[in-house]
A = this chain, B = another copy of it.
C-alpha cells in the first residue's frame, strides 16, 4: 500500500492538517517540524494523491488535447509543444485523436468531463459552435490552428493569410505567372485564409488565378497527387504550385515526377506547414512554416491565464508564419507564352 497523509502524520506525531500544510507550503509551520515531516515523506516515498486533492476542489492538473490524428506529423509536433509547456507547468496531457468525427469528439469530450480536466485545447473539427460554447462554459477551452468565429473563445492560430501572401510573394519573385493551388478543404477557415492571402498578393501584382487552377483537396497525399496531375496535364499548365499543406505538396511532387517534370526546373512547388516531411522529400520543400512549437505553448499559456480569472475577455493570438526556402522552388522556366494570362 502506498503511504497516505495519515501515515506521515502518525509517523511525525502531528495532524494531517499540518502535513497538508507543508505539502502545499501554506500557513506557518515551524522550520523544525517541516524538516522532519519532509524527511518522513521522503523516507516513505510519499506522494500526495492528485485524485484526492482534485476531489477537494483543487485542479486535476490534466489537460485534454483534441486533434484529428496524433499520427499526423503536424499535430504530433504541436502535441509535443503542448506537452512540453504543460509539463513545465505541472500539467499532463491526454491525447484525443478524433479523426474529425463527430461521435469520437463527443465521446472524448465526455471522457474529459468525467475526468474533470482543467482545460481543453481543441485542434479538431468541431464546426458546431454550439457544442463548443457549452463546453467553454464548463471547462476553459482554447481553439488552436483554426477559428470558430461564431463563438467567443480563446484562439491561437498561425497567420495563415500572411503566410499565403508570403507564398505568392516568393513565387512572383521567381517570375512565375501561371500558378496553381492545391487547397485543403475550403470549409476550414485557415485554408480559406491561406488562399485569400495568396490571391491578394497575386492581385496586387495583377496576376490572375483561373478557377480551374484552384483545386480543393482532402488531406491526403494521393489526393494531392491526383489533383496536381490533372493540373499539370491541362493545356496551360502552371509553372508553380502552392500547396496548402505538406501532404498535398508531397503528392504534387509525385505527380510532377510521374509527368516527367523536373522540380524545381520545370515546376516550382511551395508548401505550407513545414513538418518533417518537408525536409525529407527530394527536393526538400520550400514551405511556409507554421510555428508549431509556439502554437502549442501559446495555447497552454492562454489556458493558464484563464484559470486565474472569473470571466475573461477572449483573446485571439495569430503567430507569424515564415518562408523557409529549400529546393523545390526556383525561377520560372523561360516562358513559352510570357506575361500574364487568364
Residues in chain A within 8 A of chain B (CB atoms): 2, 47-52, 54-55, 60-62, 69-73, 76-77, 79-80, 83-84, 87, 92-97, 104, 107-108, 110-111, 113-116, 138, 221, 250, 253, 257, 276-277, 279-282
In the assembly, what is the distance between CA of A83 and CA of B111, in Å?
Answer: 13
A54 cross-chain contacts in B, Cβ below 8 A? 51
Contact of A97 with B84 in the complex, beta carbons under 8 Å: yes
Residue of B nearest to A78 (CB): B71
**Interface residues of A: mostly helix, strand, loop or mixed?**
helix
A92 cross-chain contacts in B, Cβ below 8 A? 94, 96, 111, 115
B70, B221, B281: the one contacting A79 at CB < 8 Å is B70
Number of copies: 2
In the assembly, what is the distance between CA of A205 and CA of B84, in Å?
Answer: 49
Given the interface pairs A51-B55, A55-B55, the reply to whether A95 lies near B114 with Cβ below 8 Å is no
Closest Cβ of chain B to A54, distance in Å, is: 5
Contact of B94 with A276 in the complex, beta carbons under 8 Å: no
B71, B80, B94, B277: the one contacting A94 at CB < 8 Å is B94
Listed by A's residue number, 18 A-B pairs whose Cβ atoms lie within 8 Å are: A50-B116, A51-B55, A51-B115, A69-B80, A70-B70, A70-B79, A70-B83, A71-B80, A73-B76, A73-B276, A79-B95, A92-B94, A92-B115, A95-B95, A257-B282, A277-B277, A281-B282, A282-B282
Closest Cβ of chain B to A2, distance in Å, is: 7
